[in-house]
Structure formats: C-alpha cells, structure tokens
Chains A and B, each alone.
Chain A
Amino acid sequence: MNAKLAVLFFLLTIGMAMPILLGFREVADVQLPNLHTNYQPTQPIPYSHRLHAGVLNIDCQYCHTGADEGRHAAIPSLDTCWNCHKTVKGRTASAKESIALLEKAYNNGMGEGVAWKRVHNNADFVYFNHQTHVRIAQFIDADGNVTDGIDCAQCHGDMTKEGVARQKEQLTMGFCINCHRDQNQRHEAAKLPARAPVNACDACHR
C-alpha cells in the first residue's frame, strides 16, 4: 500500500515536470508566426493555386516576379491578374464571382486594391532573399540530381495541389539550417562548391 503510494508520488512528480520541460520549447517559440503549418486564412478573393499553377500550368514566377529579382517574391500587382482576366471571365458561377471581385478591386487601375492575408510569415529578425535561393543556389536532391535554383515547392509545398494558399512547412531556423547542411554535404559529395552559409549567423540575422 505504502509502496504503491510512493510509486504514484514519483510518477506524479515526473508527470508534472514533463509538461514544464516540454513547455520550454513551446513557451519560447509559440508566438512566432512562422510555425503555423496548415495556416490557410480566408482570402478576400478565393484565388486557387491549383487552378492557375496546376491545371493551367502557369509558372510561379509569372506572377511572383520578385522571386527571381530580389529579396521578396512579392504578391503580384493587380494588373498582372487583369492582363488575362480582361478577357477570361470564368465559366463557373464561383469563378465569375471571384473575377467580379477582382474587377471591382482593380477598376481599371483606380480601385481599392486587394488586402491579401500573408500566409508565409518569417520572423522579422530573419533576413531571407528569394533571389539567392531561386536564381543563384544549386539544389541537389536525395538522389543526387543537380538543379539550378531551388524549386518553390521545397519550402512552400506543392501549390499546384492547393486551393487557397496554405503554409506547408514550419519555417523555423531548424528547417533552414538543416537544409543548408544537407545541401552542403551533398555538394561536397558531388564535388561542387558548397555555398550555403551554415556557420554564418549574419547571413540571416543582421
């Protein structure tokens, strides 16, 4: 009886300590916006990546032009949309509705614009440059295939399968640094210059 009580007590103590130990990582990081996997806010216009990027096979950088040119991939300006939707008015009722929303927002360049909700939010103290990753970096996959530029899907998931944009990965430091290390190892294995900064805090934090 007493022995049982003793065991119970010790289990209780450990049981109480565990959430505290586990809580450490949560408390420290829970507020970071970059952890929201499956974050899929309702957008003012229910734009479908599956339709545009998947079915219609439009290249990511047709709209997200900045990814190739600078730090920000950027949400396209509305004239990019209007370029096609001037003529493409949609077949289904929901598509027509969405395009009408776009038309209203754009209004021949005089509209109110669209306030999209950001899906991928890196913490502010992290510097990330799309151009470096999309245009300069070399990517080697697990099978050793080398590609110039990293496919958007590596971080953003396969948007051709998503409707409204959704966050796939937890964009944590661990996510970044582990990829950098893997890539450097694969580059070294392939006798290519390993250029992903690993031991360089100032690459992202400055």
Chain B
Amino acid sequence: MADQRPDLFLGVFREQDHTLEATKACREAGFTFYDVFAPYAVHGLDRAMGLPFSKITWVTFLCGAMGCIIAISGMTYVSAWDWPLNIGGKAPFPFPAFVPVMFELTVLIGGLCTMLGLFAMCRIFPGKKARLFHPRVTDDRFVIAIEMDEDFDESKCREIFAQHHAEEVKQVGPDYEAAVAEGGAA
C-alpha cells in the first residue's frame, strides 16, 4: 500500500491566520489535502479544507433513540409484564415515573456511543502512535500537508506557502510513516 501513496509536501506555519489563508489558497489551487494539522481547533479551517460537516451527529441521534427505547421497553417489561406488583397502589405501567430513567438512558447511551463514534471516526484508540508532521504541531505550529499527486504543482505550492509566511517547507517521501517524527520531545 505504502508505495502507492504519493509523497507529501509540507508547509509549517506559526500563525493560525496564515495557515487559514494558505489553506484557502491551496484549495483554490486545486491541490489535494492530505491533512492540515493545528494545535487547537481553528475555526473555519475545516471548511477551508473543504471538509463536510461531521456525521457524528447521526451516531448520537440513533444511539440516543436506542437508549430511550431500551429504557421504556425494559421498564415496561420489568414493571408491567414480568411481575406487575402492586406498589403503593400505583398502576403496573406508571408512565410518568418512567420519564426520568428514559431521559437518563437516552443521554447515557447517546453520550457513550458518541464517544466511541468519535474515536472510531478519528481512528484513534489508546496505544495508537501519534504521527506528527512537526514536533511542535500540538504546541504552536500549524502544518499543511498536500499530497503530491497529479494535480500538484510544486512551484505554485512553494509560492503559496512562502506568501503566507511558511516557516519551513519540505517534502516527505512516500514511506512517510518512517519519515515523520513520532510523538516525543520537540
């Protein structure tokens, strides 16, 4: 697989505004983004990259609904079906009493699944080795990584990067798994 992947062309930036502008410029130039890296959530950067809205909302919605259904069906089974006991003279199916637990289970299952969904969508998990394109990308550096595919134009790219105050511009080989620094000290 690795040999089929194109090389990456990296630009390292110090300011979020420069990164944002450079990203926009790269997109206008029609380059394919491998990814952009930022130490914090820069508003608009994802849209500048042309990323769609995250689908994780669906995970939350469906799992939350599932939680609610589990709650109401489970409680109905337990209270009204399996053993309808006379508790305080109340009916075997006291719906108002079920509302709190329905809500809590909606939130609980929805929330937990959102977390798992996030990990799955981000493809992160405990023990995963972080691949950093700059040692300080989690501190104060921004990195734009452009795939050097057929749409790529190196000179144009260099120009864009330079125009937007890139601190460093470099190319990493197709086997970039080994080329990039792994998580560690700066």
Please give the residue numbers on chain A whose beta carbons come within 8 Å of chain B beta carbons, in ascending order: 2-3, 5-6, 9-10, 177, 199
Main secondary structure of the interface of B (DSSP, over half): loop
Task: Tell me which of B31-39, B47-55, B99-107, B119-127 binds A.
Answer: B119-127
Give 19 A-B contacts (CB < 8 Å), ordered by A residue. Answer: A2-B123, A2-B125, A2-B128, A3-B123, A5-B125, A5-B127, A5-B128, A6-B119, A6-B120, A6-B123, A6-B125, A6-B128, A9-B125, A9-B126, A9-B127, A10-B116, A177-B83, A199-B85, A199-B86
Closest Cβ–Cβ distance, residue A152 to chain B (whole Å): 28
**Complex-state Cα separation, A177 to B120, whole angstroms:** 46
Closest to A6 in B: B125
- The residues of A that contact B126 with a CB separation of less than 8 Å are 9
Closest to B128 in A: A2
**Complex-state Cα separation, A199 to B126, whole angstroms:** 50
Please give the residue numbers on chain B whose beta carbons come within 8 Å of chain A beta carbons, in ascending order: 83, 85-86, 116, 119-120, 123, 125-128
**Complex-state Cα separation, A2 to B127, whole angstroms:** 10
- The residues of B that contact A199 with a CB separation of less than 8 Å are 85-86
Closest Cβ–Cβ distance, residue A4 to chain B (whole Å): 11
- The residues of B that contact A3 with a CB separation of less than 8 Å are 123
- The residues of B that contact A10 with a CB separation of less than 8 Å are 116
Closest to B129 in A: A2
**Complex-state Cα separation, A9 to B83, whole angstroms:** 39
**Complex-state Cα separation, A3 to B127, whole angstroms:** 12
Report, nearest first, the 7 A-B pairs whose CB atoms are least far apart: A6-B125, A9-B125, A199-B85, A2-B128, A199-B86, A5-B125, A5-B127
**Complex-state Cα separation, A120 to B119, whole angstroms:** 53
**Complex-state Cα separation, A68 to B58, whole angstroms:** 65
Closest Cβ–Cβ distance, residue A14 to chain B (whole Å): 11
